[in-house]
Structure 1
Amino acid sequence: MEAFQHQLLTLTGALICFCILVKCIRFMKCMFAHIWSALPQTFFQSLGEWAVVTGAGDGLGKAYSFELAKRGLNVVMISRTLEKLQRVASEVEQATGRKVKIIQADFTKNSVYENIEKSLQGLDIGVLVNNVGMLHNPFPCRFLNGPDIDENLINCNIISVTKVCNTLFIYVTSIIKGLILNLSSGLGTFPCPLYTMYSASKAFISTFAKALQAEYKAKGIIIQVVAPYGVSTPMTMYQKPGLITKTAEEFVSESLDYVTFGDEIFGCLAHEML
């Protein structure tokens, strides 16, 4: 019995050491990204002329739109509020000199995808950022005490990812290259009570995207899950940025340097440590 316990403890210790080693390697890759796997300056432009960003009106979507435009891509911005889209699109065009196309779409409704597909026809699309999402409730609450918006959350956080991927795959797979970033959350990497619906929806994104990458990796398409923890956005009620909580601009700029770092990343060095 003692021999078995000793072997069990040894095996457990070895597994813990292995997990720590993997974590350290990921950390070192992020810390020395420009040495470990530096992206060519023309990497994003080589994928296509246009990037498509959902939930682009503010927060991470707005930051992705700006950063991808800075890296040489024209941007299709998709979001619900037309006035906000028009304002941000104008800012992106003036700041970067790139073309911007806007599509108004409320992803809580399943009737928007036909118009999105028509609006994207004829564009050389190389990058998709599946960013749109919503919280079931901005404050922690038990499942039965939350607002009755389950269908809206499922449509916005889950159905939108599958539908937009399905639409964009027509363009991406036809050119045998491309990048699809699926925004999940650190809260989707483990069961998260009091944010049950949100956590579960983000876990779906992670599983879906990883399976999709396994299916299409051989075609040269990068499909990556980005699972941030604290980012200061309207969804997080603009938490004060600090060591862990990043501004949307900081997070996006760093995360785009890691697009070749595997099927799932946390997006920045600080979040890799968690």
Structure 2
Amino acid sequence: MASSVIRSYVAKNVDSLAIVGAVAVAYCGLKLLRSIWRGFSVFILARALGLSVNLKRLGSWAVITGSTDGIGKAYAFEIARMGINVVLVSRSAEKLADTAAEIEKKHNVKTKTVAVDFTAGPEIFDVIREQLEDLEIGVLVNNVGMAYSHPEYFNLLDDKVRVIVSVLSCPLTLMTRLVLPGMTERQKGVIINVASASGVNPVPLLTVYSATKAYVDFFSRALQTEYRTKGIIIQSVRPFFVSTKLSKIRRANLFVPTPTSYVRSALATIGVETNTFGCMSHAFQNWLYDLVPKPIYDRLSLSMMVATRKKALKRAAKQD
């Protein structure tokens, strides 16, 4: 009975349904073309035309937090490659010294190191402030972070949840507060805040990490609106997976770039995009996710995280 009613309705309204279908296809086609053009213009055309900001003109020093591994280390090397002196801020004095020596040898720039533990109290920012005095800071990269050891249900998280919230929100906010007055006075500067694609769409079983990365993104976007008329760029960088220790992915591929290739691409978007996924393959991943209806996306995301959790717990049990 129902099928005959549907057939009858379709037969009577075939012309109208054809128009609706054509409009829907045209809309999706235009949206696809717009996304392709945006990706091409941001990640290929802008770089070829040299539209990104020349960071060397903003100041003689750059400050990078979380600068001895992964994305942060790649930012330090790529910025030094531009001839800019770098202040490396991280926890391990030994790793800082090694990274600084490597940068000086490879790129012939000055370095300073500040060994602080961002899980400590607010007094560490007094230490950082003293080390940054009298430096002409043109670039700040807020990269320090930490993640879950594996996806986990919120009620099963230990006290590490407090540390994650603290490390992913406080250092970024207070480091920005340290350098912004000087940038405002000189009417130029760039602040790069490394957020995450998980802060764009919520990720179950990584709830706290996802939520704090959303804070990073919103903080950056609001601040950019405040300071865009003052010659300052605040950029939110939202990577998907990059082959780092934090992601636990060792082998790079088309969709999981190395830190160096990712950062080189992301730096080329400064002055072109204030909210960027950093590279074309990550922008394409986000476009694909946007096509998926939210209820389906949520179920798929939960299923993936549950499966990852099971594998991690199984590995941990074998090690014990």
Fold-level similarity (TM above 0.5): yes
- Name the larger-Rg structure: 2
1:104-183 maps to which residues of 2 (within 5 A)? 104-109=115-120, 110-135=122-147, 137-183=148-194
Give the Cα separation in 2 of the matches to 1:9 and 1:204: 39
Partner of 1:226: 237
- Which aligned runs of 4 or more in structure 1 are off by greater than 6 angstroms? 4-15
TM-score norm. by structure 2 comes to 0.79
Q: Per the alignment, do residues 200 and 10 of structure 1 end up closer, same or farther by CA in structure 2, a change over 3 Å counting?
A: farther
Cα distance in 2 between the residues matched to 1:5 and 1:220:
51
Secondary structure in structure 1 of the residue aligned to 2:246: helix
Q: Which deviates the most, 222-231 or 27-36?
A: 27-36
Aligned partners of 2:63 and 2:87 also within 8 Å: yes
TM-score of the two chains, using structure 1 as the length reference:
0.91
Counterpart CA distance in 2 for 1:85 and 1:159 is: 22
Output the CA distance in 2 between the equivalents of 1:255 and 1:238: 20
Asked if residue 80 in structure 1 is aligned to residue 91 in structure 2, the reply is: yes
For the Cα contact (< 8 Å) 2:92–2:115, is it kept in 1? yes
Contact kept, 8 Å, 2:52 with 2:272, in 1: the verdict is no
Report Cα offsets for 1:192-240 as digits up to 9, x if no partner: 0011111111111000100000000001111110011111111012431
* 1:22 to partner: Cα distance: 3.9
Are 1:270 and 2:281 matched, yes or no?
yes
- Long gaps (5+) in structure 1: none
Note the C-alpha offset of 1:19.
Answer: 4.3
| Change in CA separation of 1:270 and 1:82 when aligned onto 2, cut-off 3 Å | same
Q: Structure 2 matches for 1:196-215, cutoff 5 A? A: 196-215=207-226
Equivalent pair of 1:239/1:245 in contact (CA under 8 Å): no
Q: Which runs of 5+ in 2 are unaligned?
A: 1-12, 286-320
1:26 pairs, out of 23, 38, 43, with: 38
Q: Structure 1 residue 139: deviation in Å?
A: 1.2
Q: 1:8 to 1:211 in 2, by over 3 A?
A: farther
Q: Note the C-alpha offset of 1:54.
A: 0.4
The amino acid of 2:174's aligned partner reads K
Relative to its length, the structure with more helix (as a share) is 2
The corresponding residue for 1:63 is 74
